Structure 1
Amino acid sequence: MTIAPQRSDRPAGWISTGLSWQDGRAVLGAVSGTRVHERAVTPGAEVGWLLGGPRRCTGAWLAGATERTPCPHRAVIDPGAGATQCPACQSVDRGLALARDQILDDGRTYLLYLAWFGEGLLKVGLTAEQRGDSRLLEQGALAYAFTARGALPAVRRAELTVAASGMARERFKSRIKTDHWWAHGDAAHRRAVLTEARGRAHRLLDGHAVERLADRPVVDHVDRFGLAGGAPEAYQEVAGLADGAVLAGALRPPVGRHLFLDQPDGSGPLLLDTRRLTGWTLTPVTGRRSAGLTLEERVRPPEPDTQEALF
């Protein structure tokens, strides 16, 4: 028997499932058993969360399910680990199975995309057509172009062909992406790079069983992410969370799954990768300052010296 998740407007004491993008909007999610709470991320909104441990597995997305299935073991996971699921839930998660090529075809139509994360950071990937650009928003793509369309096996082969050519990679680490938020050129440059790259990809895919998409527009997310002027000159990145920590501040526009929180004392914003928040029990608090966090200072690097030497 399947128990349908119940929606609730009471988020107190819920386990965070992090940030996702749904129909073009960023949403913070939390679960309690089969109940689900979702809150849209609104720039300027004040938030405050008290973190309670232990950090627990958030369950899995099962094949054919429309909601996350709770972890039956309520397994505890490492507070500092990148993984947000226990091994048992990882083994049955639909998304992970797709990423590991354990699902060869699920009957859905897929789109091949080229995504731009900064100069020299061109990524190739795929996403289910029904998800629109949610995957690109979640990854924090500064701009992207849908490039081809077809069944999963054909689009996956196309992805491997483009990656093998060396023109684009299948993944970049989060730190490499954030390093490029300070300087990312202008929209015309991003559009030109992606348009040229799509043309190259189409030549590589000659003979592949995919529909090549030449007339899809290049989509730019820089303004949407609030990065038109670049990232803040200096900020502190949350490098670790612990039981009893407090995260508080005013939200800036989300960048992928990252959130900037302006601090009320004027100490500069904090940057939170919301995947670190996943699995902690959150209790709303007001009038509290951020505390109990492991922070790493991030400062805009100096511009390269291009002046010619005299001697």
Structure 2
Amino acid sequence: MTIPAPQQPDRPAGWVSTGLSWQDGRAVLGAAHGARVHERAVEPGAEVGWLLGGPRRCTGAWLAGATERTPCPHHAVIDPDAAATQCPACQSVDRGLALARDQILDDGRTYLLYLAWFGEGLLKVGLTAEQRGDSRLLEQGALAYAFTARGGLPAVRRAELTVAASGLARERYKSRLKADHWWSHGDAPHRRTVLTEARAQAHRLLDGHAVELLADRPVVDHVERYGLAGGAPEVYREVAGLADGAVVAGRLRPPIGKHLFLDQADGSGPLLLDTRRLTGWTLTAVSGRPSEGLVLQERVRPPEPDTQEALF
């Protein structure tokens, strides 16, 4: 389904969205104008409206040793529907991508190995820099997690590979699969038991590894923080495409990782926005305007997993 966008005059370059991140336990939406950066806290219950201006542009890169993002020197245009938010040149020098691709073997920082729970049967193993706290877990939308080991990057990466190779947990899950488990996450005691037992199993696998095993770190639960104690909306529409002149508006629900539910003033049901789609668009604040110019997909709560054992 497509909502047609109104015609818009040409607009000068302005604040370009750098997406949603979690900092010190709170979600913030960032925007950059050259080297200047502005961040706004995502407050549940707040009314928001963003007019998107194109073209969609590369958001630059985090360089090794830098404390802030470096703007793209080419002002490169990227595909409106692309998952990547950087041009090839910025991707090639980005510190985070280099770490993910094992192109940086050691950066001198201390890392934490974690086990994250995204729903029944969805256990993930990963690592994050200790200085980031639980920001990476919040950004991924982890429903609960447990820090499992601590050490330098080479040792923690080897521990991550060991746990993944055992089949105990996987290194990644697709965003759609995570979202399908927002309704069937059990209760907090169950999540705590699953993660506590998984951590004990991981520790047995990591016996002899050059990492500090963390047995006394508490299991942290995010279900209440994400507003998912009662589940996500039964029926909603997901933003599947954005374009120049589109408007994204509504009343915010608590963010879930990098996703936002926005209740619509016309009562048409909430919209689900993956904020990574905003990244690279020039944003102008507007008020009193409905969402328009969006490609939407109808969504309903997924059916409960069939747990009945086969008879034959």
Measured against the shorter chain, the TM-score band is over 0.9
In the other structure, the counterpart of 2:36 is 35
Q: Distance in 1 between matches of 2:219 and 2:22?
A: 19
Question: In 2 relative to 1, CA 160–286 (structure 1 residues): closer, same or farther, beyond 3 Å?
Answer: same
The match for 2:162 is 161
DSSP 3-state at the match of 1:184:
coil
User: 2:257 matched to which residue of 1?
Assistant: 256
Give, in angstroms, the shift of residue 301 of structure 1. Answer: 2.9
Matched letter for residue 296 of structure 2 = L
Match of 1:95 in 2: 96
Any residues of structure 2 matched to 1:120-199 within 5 Å, and which? Answer: 120-199=121-200
Q: Is the 8 A contact 2:184 2:304 kept in 1?
A: no
Aligned partner letter, 1:99: A
Q: CA deviation at 1:211?
A: 0.3
CA–CA separation in structure 2 for the residues paired with 1:275 and 1:143: 22
Please name the residue that 1:9 is paired with: none
1:274 matched to 2:275? The reply is yes
Q: CA deviation at 1:300?
A: 1.1
Q: Secondary structure at the match of 2:277?
A: coil
In 2: Cα distance, 1:307 partner to 1:195 partner: 26
Q: Distance in 2 between matches of 1:121 and 1:304?
A: 13
- In structure 1, C-alpha distance between the alignment counterparts of 2:58 and 2:117, rounded to whole Å: 32
Distance 1:102 1:304 in 2: 39
Evaluate the alpha carbon distance shift between residue 275 and residue 170 of structure 1 in structure 2; reply closer, same or farther with a 3 A threshold.
same
Report what 2:87 is aligned to.
86
CA offsets 1:247-278 (integer angstroms, 9 cap, x no match): 00000110000011010011111010000100
1:24-72 deviation per Cα after TM superposition (whole angstroms, max 9, x unaligned): 1100000010111100000000000010110000000011111100000
Which residue matches 2:115? 114
The answer to whether residue 256 in structure 2 is matched with residue 246 in structure 1 is no
Kindly state the Cα deviation for residue 305 of structure 1 after the two structures are TM-superposed.
7.5
- Tell me the SS of whatever aligns to 2:255: coil
Q: For residue 116 of structure 1, what is the amino acid of its counterpart?
A: W
Distance 1:170 1:183 in 2: 21
Distance 1:205 1:304, change over 3 A: closer
- Identical columns (%): 89
**Secondary structure of the corresponding residue to residue 73 of structure 2:** coil
Q: Secondary structure at the match of 2:72?
A: coil
Question: Match of 1:201?
Answer: 202
Rounded to whole Å, the distance in 2 between the matches of 1:249 and 1:18 is: 17
- Residue 36 of structure 2 aligns with an amino acid whose one-letter code is R
Q: Does 1:211 align with 2:212?
A: yes
Structure 1 residue 304: Cα displacement: 6.1
Match of 2:8 in 1: none
The verdict on how the C-alpha distance between 1:307 and 1:136 changes in structure 2, with shifts beyond 3 A counting, is closer
- After superposition, the Cα gap between the structure-2 partners of 1:243 and 1:185, relative to the gap in structure 1 and judged at 3 Å, is same
Q: Any residues of structure 2 matched to 1:59-78 within 5 Å, and which?
A: 59-78=60-79
CA distance in 2, matches of 1:215, 1:244: 51
- C-alpha displacement of 1:13: 3.3
Distance 2:24 2:128 in 1: 14
Deviations 1:177-200 (A, max 9, x none): 000001110000000000000000
- Offset of 1:216 from its aligned partner? 0.2
1:99-155 Cα shifts (integer Å, max 9, x gaps): 000000000000000000000000000000000000000000000000000000000
Q: 2: distance between equivalents of 1:254 and 1:202? A: 32
Once residues 306 and 259 of structure 1 are traced to their aligned partners in structure 2, the CA distance between those partners, rounded to angstroms, is 30
How far apart in 2 are the matches of 1:90 and 1:75? 12
TM-score by length of 1: 0.94
Code of the aligned partner of 2:82: A
